[in-house]
């Protein structure tokens, strides 16, 4: 049965939901930080040796970070809906169940294409693809000059 037994219970419930929203937002920021840092560092290592396999392997963490970021954003949106219901007094007392709002929020794949997500992760993927292209079309190092034997001192040809 929706509703609260007191205003204090409603305030506590709203505080709990707000805490979850804050943690989800913090996790999303941490994922973005790790994505940029890890892909940049590993991308530098891949570019140094123009290693094709290592460059391809960078696609996995780049896509995983993108998916994880989208998941956290979707969860945050679900809990914002729960917060609105709790503020209106229509949520069950101390309920943290967001399944009733899943049809009101975009799915994870659609969330991954939202502006707040794609404008960070598309450049990361483009960077990884550029590394792959660099590894495929890596410049051929110049061959060393031929070794010429110098005659020993005091000997005549």
146 is a domain residue? no
Q: What secondary structure does DSSP assign to 94-116, as a single string?
A: T----GGGGGGS--HHHHHTSHH
Residues of the domain holding 57: 7-136
The pLDDT assigned to 116 comes to 86
The pLDDT assigned to 114 comes to 92
75 is a domain residue? yes
The pLDDT assigned to 156 comes to 62
153 is a domain residue? no
76 is a domain residue? yes
For 20-74, the pLDDT digits (tens) are 999 999 999 999 999 999 999 999 998 888 888 989 999 999 999 999 999 999 9
For 83-135, the pLDDT digits (tens) are 999 999 888 888 999 999 999 999 999 999 999 899 999 999 999 999 999 98
The pLDDT assigned to 36 comes to 95
Helix pair 115-136, 59-88: axis angle to 10 deg: 180
The pLDDT assigned to 99 comes to 93
142 is a domain residue? no
Q: Which residue has the higher pLDDT, 107 or 7?
A: 107
2 is a domain residue? no
Distance CA 5, CA 60 (A): 49
23 is a domain residue? yes
Structural domains in the chain (count): 1
Name the helix (H) or strand (E) containing 70. Answer: helix 59-88
Chain position carrying tokens 């899943």: 102
65 is a domain residue? yes
The pLDDT assigned to 111 comes to 95
| This prediction's pTM | 0.81
Distance CA 42, CA 78 (A): 34
């Amino acid at each position: 049965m929706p509703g609260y037994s007191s205003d204090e219970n409603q305030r506590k419930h709203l505080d709990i939901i707000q805490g979850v929203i804050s943690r989800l937002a913090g996790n999303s920021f941490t994922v973005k930080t790790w994505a940029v840092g890890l892909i940049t560092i590993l991308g530098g290592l891949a570019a140094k040796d123009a290693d094709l396999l290592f460059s391809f392997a960078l696609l996995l963490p780049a896509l995983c970070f993108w998916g994880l970021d989208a998941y956290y954003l979707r969860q945050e949106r679900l809990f914002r809906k729960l917060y609105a219901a709790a503020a209106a007094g229509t949520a069950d007392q101390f309920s943290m169940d967001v399944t009733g709002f899943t049809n009101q929020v975009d799915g994870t794949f659609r969330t991954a294409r939202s502006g707040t997500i794609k404008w960070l992760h598309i450049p990361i993927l483009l960077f990884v693809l550029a590394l792959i292209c660099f590894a495929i079309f890596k410049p051929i190092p110049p061959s060393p000059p031929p070794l010429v034997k110098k005659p020993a001192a005091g000997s005549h040809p």
